[in-house]
Structure 1
Amino acid sequence: MSRRSSALWASAVLLAVLPGVLYRIDSLLSEPEYAPGVYGFVTMYSCWTDLYVRSWANMLRDFPLFSYGGAPVIVLGFAGWYASLRKGRDRLGRILARSAATVLLLTCLPQILVYALDARCLDPWNAVSPMDLYALAPPILVLLAARPPRRAPVRRGRLARTAAVVLTVTATLLVAVGSVPPGKVSTDAELDCAGFGGGTVEGLRKEEKDFLCRVRGYGFYSTEGIEEWNESSDRIVLAQGHHLCGLAERNGGDTGAPAVREAPHASLLPALAMLCPSVASRQAEQETRKQEEQAAYVAGKERACARHRTHRPRIKPVRQRRATMFTEFWTVQGWEDGYEGRAPDLVENLVGSEPGALAIWAADEIGHACVTIESYSRRPPLETRGWKEVVEVGYESPKGSLTLSDGHGRRVTDLTTAGPGHYRVRVHLRGRELVDQVAYPPDGAVELLVMVFPGEQKEPVVHR
């Protein structure tokens, strides 16, 4: 056996076991608060071919012969090759060595060739990793070791030999070091997510810390964490976040662009504005535009309600208010403190009450109504002219603080002017037929007149 073959076989075994050895050393040196050798990685697949081939290769690597980069296979191949040489059967030795190398290539070469089979696998984020290339080195060295020596070897110059050695050693060290699981998962206190000061993480910008806090669900984001990244190290999360930010920046900060939305690591999008200024700026613009559109929408409905004539009561109320009230669930609600959340049944599908709770129909599921609310100290005269429906119910006020609220947060307070006690609520309606007949009724179609006054009667009365 020549020195050249011995060196190549030894190099093949060394390169195969080096990443595993470095991994074990890093595990032993990890901080006590983390389980030795346990790291979280998020595997990204950009196509079904990639998923199938990588899954198949990973299953093959689970066999003991393929542990430590396939070192057992290399050792067996060497044993067969060496024994054949001792018996003078060089050809059989080369066959055994090349068979061992071929088996190793079957575990890593398909992951490289897969990108030629499926164009979607050309996503730069899912391109061939350094470890995919590194895994090719041991079987290639085995093939070279089994190759018969040349009869007249050509001696390279000193410069060429030195350059080859330097490049080989450098590449080997860089790839091997890169194979060691990087970094740790910083805690809430280390990142100072609550903003109290005293964070111990160094080397990260504020936006990177904020991004990690949002992804982890730390501090102010306790209900907004992205669970699938919990076990991934800070370095991995930030690297994928910066890559996703780059994709978004190339699309003007638009996280809805296909290249961004369909990226393998798109699950980080909810937190991306913390890290990516272009995304934050675009989201702020979208929010501003949304608010402007909402304000214009509300203003249009309010102008339509303002065109209705003001109701002229027959006796003077304690107070009279007008409001455009919106709903997404058919009704506007009245509550008193401590009674929020109740949903009374409606009488004639118009008004219903329970102690501390009131409900008034306002739209066909989603819409708005032009509402006039009048509070009285005594029973007002009955008015039915001009109204399609008039229904009156009893209401028990536990605290005398009934407030009518709509789906946009608009509130009309102090409906019960006489304090806690028994009241009557009389609701007048017109325009229901308009919203029942068309999908998009005209603005201001529904008009409501709500009268609240003291009264002991509990039974509902349908006046019209």
Structure 2
Amino acid sequence: MSTRSRLWWAVALSISGAGVGYALSLDRSSFIIASWVFSFCPGREVGFQATRLLWEAAQWVPPFWYGAAPLVVLALGAHWLATRRGRPRAGRVAARVAAGAILLLHGLGPAGLAVDLALDRSCLESWGGWEGARFFLDTDVAPIVAAFCVLAAVRIPRHRVRRLLRSRPFRRWVAGVAVVGLLAQVPVADLAAGPITSLDRCGDPYRSGERVGGLAFLCGLRRNGRFTVVGDHLALAYGRARCAAYRPSGGDSGLLAPICPAAAAVVRREAEREAAEWRAEEAAAQRVCDRARHRPRVRPLRVVRERTRTDYGVLESVEWNPAEPEYDPYDLGLLAKAQDNGLVAARPGHLIVLSHSDFEICLTAETYRRRPPVEVKGWDSVVEVGYESTSGSIELMDPMAGEGLAGLAFRGKGHYRVRVHYREPDYDAWTPQHLLIMIFPGRGEDVVEFRRPRRES
């Protein structure tokens, strides 16, 4: 064994020993690995998975323990013994195999970090920054350096290297490796992270001008949580490929519509069909309201008709009451009182009318100068209550919608009687329910149930 070889072996053993001492002295601290990095970072994924599999196997092989320092010692012993017995080539092969095993076990992590930094420097965050990279890789430095020292200790003399480099088989092998490497880089080059459109660049998806084009397609992908860490060019290539193979029964029509005319045509036809169905339902509901239009027995002062619906089955009017400035209209007391008769309740400045929350309402409000005749025929429930308008503005509305029937307190502030008529919807045909509200001057807070609603048993 030459002096040069002995020196390199000494360095390899020293570095391995230092690595073992460093590993035993570590006091690990915590750090954060970012899961929100929007980049293509294959080094971390491949490096972590491969290293995990290799370490699961290596933990059963004692020479790989303590940073593979025992393996360096075994490689030295094999090289020294083979050289003493006149078989130096076998010793070099054994040492190189040992060095290769060390590099495979400890070198994949640093190699993965180098690949990620070459592709996109933001990938460093996926490792937990420099602190995380040090946490994962610091114990790999000594084994890697020791492995290279082992290779240097058994390297071929220079004149043999020149002879190998000039040989025809070696040149052919290098040419073949170069060609294969270039071909391998073609698909890899297409995996560069590239720009990734964020939702900040996406406008209103319901504006027609922002529902076509590549940006609209990318925004649709991002909103659906798809391709969030893939470059725009790859996402668009995926969309064009899906468009080329598009079939109406294949789904994803709405997603592909911005860049695929065939999918856009399907989406447009579906939207037209749904719009036609909605118009037909609206027309049918309006016909039901028109057929059941109330014919007053005496002439009303004002008639207001509207087809509406409620969010949770309540129409109410809330006025400012100076006598009760602390009154909370969202208190459930008046609602509970209305549920006693199933239809209506009132207190000064607050009026509630109940209905079914799942059906539209054919709503009619009539105001009278004097008390109109009582009508119960054709109605399922008729209840009359007294109401005091504290501000002179009765406006029945759905509290969630904020729109309703205004101007019902035709005499301004004062006392009124409110008579509410209710007819249930046709539950099978899903047609609207009916409310007729008569408002006229009158005193008294008594509740009169002219027709009690049917109570469910």
Query: How does the TM-score come out when normalised to structure 1?
Result: 0.51
SS class of match (1:463): strand
The alignment-based identity, stated in percent, is 25
Query: How does the TM-score come out when normalised to structure 2?
Result: 0.51
User: How far 1:348 moved relative to its partner?
Assistant: 0.9
2:235 paired with 1:240: yes
Contiguous gaps of at least 5 residues in structure 1: 2-34, 45-51, 66-71, 108-141, 195-205, 217-224, 262-268
Matches within 5 A, 1:8-407: 40-41=37-38, 57=50, 59=52, 84-88=78-82, 89-90=90-91, 92-93=94-95, 96=98, 99-100=101-102, 163-164=175-176, 166-168=178-180, 170=182, 182-183=194-195, 207-209=213-215, 236=231, 239-240=234-235, 243=238, 246-247=241-242, 250-252=245-247, 257=251, 282-308=266-292, 310-327=293-310, 329=312, 331=313, 333-335=315-317, 344-345=334-335, 346=338, 347-353=340-346, 358-363=351-356, 365-397=357-389, 398=391, 400=393, 402-404=395-397
C-alpha distance in 2, partners of 1:59/1:183?
Answer: 31
SS class of match (1:448): strand
C-alpha distance in 2, partners of 1:177/1:83?
Answer: 44
User: How far 1:442 moved relative to its partner?
Assistant: 6.5
CA contact (8 A) 2:240 2:260 kept: yes
1:333 counterpart letter in structure 2: L
C-alpha distance in 2, partners of 1:412/1:335?
Answer: 9
CA contact (8 A) 1:400 1:421 kept: no
SS class of match (2:353): strand
SS class of match (2:428): coil
C-alpha distance in 2, partners of 1:311/1:426?
Answer: 14
CA contact (8 A) 1:212 1:237 kept: yes
1:90-143 CA distance string (max 9 Å, x none) = 364465357558758999xxxxxxxxxxxxxxxxxxxxxxxxxxxxxxxxxx9x
Count of aligned residue pairs for this structure pair: 334
C-alpha distance in 1, partners of 2:429/2:203?
Answer: 49
SS class of match (1:367): coil
C-alpha distance in 2, partners of 1:396/1:161?
Answer: 101
1:448 counterpart letter in structure 2: L
Change (3 A) 1:172 1:378: same
C-alpha distance in 1, partners of 2:331/2:266?
Answer: 40
C-alpha distance in 2, partners of 1:382/1:61?
Answer: 90
User: How far 1:370 moved relative to its partner?
Assistant: 3.6
Change (3 A) 1:79 1:279: farther
C-alpha distance in 2, partners of 1:78/1:405?
Answer: 82
Change (3 A) 1:275 1:416: farther
User: How far 1:400 moved relative to its partner?
Assistant: 1.4
SS class of match (2:342): coil
CA contact (8 A) 1:427 1:450 kept: yes
1:167 counterpart letter in structure 2: V
CA contact (8 A) 1:249 1:279 kept: no
C-alpha distance in 2, partners of 1:406/1:39?
Answer: 41
| Larger mean Cα displacement after TM superposition, 331-340 or 83-92 | 331-340
1:264-285 CA distance string (max 9 Å, x none) = xxxxx8x876666666654444
User: How far 1:153 moved relative to its partner?
Assistant: 12
CA contact (8 A) 1:241 1:272 kept: no
